Amino acid sequence: MQEAWWRGAAIYQVYLRSFADGNGDGLGDLAGLRGRLDYLSKLGIDAIWLNPWYPSPMSDGGYDVADYRSIEPIFGTLAEAEKLIQEAHERDIKIIIDVVPNHSSDQSAWFQEALAAGPGSPMRERFWFRSGHREGPPNDWQSIFGGPAWTQVPDGEWYLHLFAPEQPDFNWNSPAVREEFLDVLRFWLDRGVDGVRIDSAAVLIKDPDAEPDGLDPYTDRDGVHEIYREWRRVSDTYPGRFLIGEVWLPDQERFARYLRPDELHTAFNFDFLSCPWDPAALRRVIDDTLATHVPIGAPPTWVLSNHDVTRPVTRYGRPDTSFDHGDRKHGMTSDRELGVRRARAAALLAMALPGGVYVYQGEELGLPEVEDIPDALLQDPIWARSGHTDRGRDGCRVPLPWSGDAPPYGYGGEPWLPQPADWGPLTVEAQEADPSSMLNLYRTALRIRRESLGDGTLTWLPLGEEVLAFTRDSGLTCVVNLGREPVRLPEHQRIRLASDEVDGDLLPADTAVWLV
């Protein structure tokens, strides 16, 4: 690993509620994660990123935080979290936590104090409380989860929530809010966490008083950058720590501003994640990403999936292989065999690119999106807020299968979301015994990546319009055939790793190889 370990790290995302259940209540927890650290060590990752683990009513899967300095009891205790950090470090695995600065829970002490204090109170200045007009909310902003972004309280005022009503937005014009989060950063950095992922990083600054109806409240504003300069000054006092932003922006120039030397260290590459399985589109995204990052010295990140996105095996098997939060394409026909083949090739592509790579739990098992969860069991707030038109994100959050041939597949108690009956061949136990499994492909690729890839540069090779081919600094060459016909591989190189079987020097469609 480089001195700045995060520049080329392989980071594994743990959605704690669905990873492993250590106490048998059907909910993943810290005990379950601690019991699987050796699995993650064998997988070959460098760090674990955990989705929010704080006390929460779970109105949005923990992204409605009630207390930023403690642990949700269903997950464990603060002492267990500190033990996890220690045990992970003993295995040379870093820990990254999720901080949610845009909003809190409506059950947080601050918000409850604001409600009790009434209009005009300084307590309400920490949030966006406003009077309505025209017998309605202050403006026509809409929540990203559907419906109005304003909710009225009994005294007649309205509060802003860009997400669910249970997630009131902080007012970052308030000095108290700024100081609170600087202290939260220090609290966790003092406990040994190695990185902080910042949720909804671009939308903190807004002004509903000065903005007319119809102006997009999700547009980033320049004032957000001073916030992250303050955060960077704090993180820089802790050697080896880093900040990563969840920044969804189509404008690459504005995106790059978050990665200036005195702001965030890295940001998620959502253009790559959303890109269809198309050679020209992928080449364009890769080139644009490198063009954005290289001049400012920031490492790119490559992400195929996360807790909000349709799983690759399902997405890549559809006629439309792109991803869009506005249209998740629920119910679109998906060819499982084709999706698996492309997902394997995409994994080798992502891991070969220069910079860091993220692996979402279950991606290494080739889990599909679960699209037939009964309506009555869906828990994502998007389902209710959309008027039951968008089934939301539960399908990629189904608990992992570890062993056995029937639910709960060694996960623990009865899972909080139902697991499919046909997941027996996808368990860790079953895949460990199969040399050609997705799990063993990931293990081998992550091992080679640690030896020969990670941070650095690439040089493109001209192997045809349907092929992505490049050589990395170490001399390893990656070739991905996204066309329909086999293509000839470069001469005088041998295959180090292939996503599927290769016949001689012809690379089949939807297949990737690493050559040396």
Distance of CA 33 to the CA centre of its chain: 18
Show the tokens assigned to 352. 């070969």
96: β partners:
49, 195
What is the C-alpha to C-alpha distance for residues 32 and 50, in angstroms, rounded to an integer?
A: 13
Among the options 46, 98, 157, 246, which is catalytic?
246
The token duo for 123 is 């307590």
CA distances from 61 to 17, 161, 305, 445 (A): 8, 16, 17, 31
Q: Of 21, 106, 166, 199, which one is the catalytic site residue?
A: 199
Cβ atoms of 172 and 126 closer than 8 Å: no
How is residue 55 annotated by DSSP?
-
Half-sphere exposure of 329 (CA within 13 A, CB side): 19
Report d(CA 489, CA 130) in Å as an integer: 64
**Per-residue tokens: 93:** 């695995």
CA neighbor of 422 nearest in space, from 407, 440, 438: 407
DSSP-assigned states of every residue in 235-279: HTTSTT-EEEE----S-HHHHHHTTSTTS-SEE--HHHHH--S-H
Q: 249 with 220: CB under 8 angstroms?
A: yes
Q: Name which of 23, 8, 220, 16 is nearest 102 in CA terms.
A: 220
**CA 119 centroid distance within chain:** 38
Angle, vertex CA 173, rays to CA 197 and CA 60, nearest 5: 45
How many angstroms separate the CA atoms of 323 and 305, rounded? 10
Is 92 catalytic? The answer is no
The end-to-end CA distance of the chain, in Å, is: 21
* Cα 348 from Cα 304, distance rounded (Å): 11
- Please list, residue by residue across 363-387, b when 16 or more beta carbons sit within 10 angstroms of its beta carbon and e when fewer do: bbbbbbbbbebeeeebbbbbbbbee
How many Cβ atoms from other residues are within 10 Å of residue 333's Cβ?
8
**231: Cα separation from own chain's centroid:** 21
d(CA 459, CA 466): 17
Q: Is 157 a catalytic residue?
A: no
> Would you please indicate which residues are annotated as catalytic (active-site) residues?
199, 246
